[in-house]
Amino acid sequence: MHYSEEFNVKKILVSRAVFPDVIERLKRHFDVETNQEDRRLTREELAVKLVDKDGMFVAGDRIDAEVLAAAPRLRVVANMAVGYNNFDIDAFNRASVLGTNTPDVLNETTADLGWALMMAAARRMSEGERFLRAGKWDRWAYDMLMGSDVYGSTLGVIGMGRIGQAVARRAKGFGMRVVYHNRSRVTAEIERELNAEYLDKEALLKEADHVVLVLPYTPSSHHTIGAAEFALMKRTATITNIARGGIIDDVALIEALRAHQIGAAGLDVFEGEPKLNPGFLDLPNVVLTPHIGSATEATRRAMANLTADNLIAGLGEGPQAGHPPTPINPEVMAHWSHG
């Protein structure tokens, strides 16, 4: 008889490589199958591995009705990310599977990267580095690599959640006017704290010098920014996406950048990533990073440990047993005792 069966130890799958000390934490509670070689598992492999699993630690894997159908024992899928558009939550609810995510622990780090991308795009830093490395810098010229000012300009934030507020908070040190658009207005207290003015999307796009996207990806936010929106923006404006691929219509953005309809873009996320539209690669006026918004050691460790906390507590183990810190659909837990 297998150890986990003999002693009623729950079994989990960790689908991607993660910090070894986090794996050791999980092994104190579970029979753990790992993937420390970090090979992307196929859907067929996932189906086989999940047949006898009670929980799963994931980092971006698509978990939908087809995957869940192959996992009759599965109760908790813990996502090492704040976004969970890789989860079919309706399917989770039908299968009484709890999904969890990692909000808050990456707010400041992601906001930092948003500012880095915005400033790099505004001041043409990637273009300037390529220019220098290619040996093209041989003289001063009044119009060499002229970009746009950040200090004293207007920052437009679309999506004023926790990360959006962190982005806006940094604008104070740059003497910026802050305008924002959100599905609903934030409280008057938050507006005062951030010195932020609510505008509808069209007005924001017309007035902002630098637009930063920080809204969650949902079917309703798909292609929130496309050709019509680029037509509203200033020709010198920048747009930065640290949210999710699909919020911008990448084809329309490439055309807008190529035609200098807007000034520049900073992108950490893309439609269909890790693949990206090759049209971005030959554009000088775009700064590209490979979805590294949360990529500092301290933040990634906090994310991994919160993911583990959710999995441990969600499966009824540890000091928070039955009370995972950041559930997405906690209502499903009410069905477990009756299942």
What is the tens place of the pLDDT at every residue in 206-255? 999 999 999 999 899 999 999 999 999 999 999 999 999 999 999 999 99
Q: Please indicate, yes or no, whether residues 130 and 161 belong to a single structural domain of this protein.
A: yes
Q: Please indicate, yes or no, whether residues 205 and 256 belong to a single structural domain of this protein.
A: yes
Q: Please indicate, yes or no, whether residues 261 and 305 belong to a single structural domain of this protein.
A: no
- What local confidence, expressed as pLDDT, does residue 337 receive? 63
- What local confidence, expressed as pLDDT, does residue 338 receive? 44
- Paired tokens of 104: 């808050």
Q: Please indicate, yes or no, whether residues 47 and 157 belong to a single structural domain of this protein.
A: no
What is the tens place of the pLDDT at every residue in 124-175? 999 999 999 999 999 999 999 999 999 999 999 999 999 999 999 999 999 9
- Paired tokens of 35: 């993937």
Active site residue 129: no
**pTM here?**
0.91
- What local confidence, expressed as pLDDT, does residue 8 receive? 81
Domain count, the chain: 2
Catalytic hit among 25, 170, 291, 300: 291
Q: Please indicate, yes or no, whether residues 40 and 141 belong to a single structural domain of this protein.
A: no
Q: Please indicate, yes or no, whether residues 101 and 113 belong to a single structural domain of this protein.
A: no
Catalytic hit among 191, 193, 255, 273: 273
Q: Please indicate, yes or no, whether residues 176 and 275 belong to a single structural domain of this protein.
A: yes
Q: What is the mean pLDDT of residues 88-99?
A: 96
Q: Please indicate, yes or no, whether residues 154 and 216 belong to a single structural domain of this protein.
A: yes
Residue 101: closest CA among 163, 57, 159: 57
Q: Please indicate, yes or no, whether residues 73 and 217 belong to a single structural domain of this protein.
A: no
- What local confidence, expressed as pLDDT, does residue 336 receive? 82
Q: Please indicate, yes or no, whether residues 98 and 26 belong to a single structural domain of this protein.
A: yes
Is residue 7 pLDDT above 90, yes or no?
A: no
**Final residue of a domain: which of 266, 288, 310?**
288
Q: Please indicate, yes or no, whether residues 118 and 257 belong to a single structural domain of this protein.
A: yes
- Residue span of the structural domain in which 7 resides: 3-105+297-336
Active site residue 181: no
Active site residue 244: yes
Q: Please indicate, yes or no, whether residues 83 and 174 belong to a single structural domain of this protein.
A: no
Catalytic hit among 29, 124, 210, 244: 244
CATH assignment of the domain containing 72: 3.40.50.720
Main-chain dihedrals φ then ψ at residue 65, nearest 5 degrees: -60, -40
Main-chain dihedrals φ then ψ at residue 225, nearest 5 degrees: -115, 120
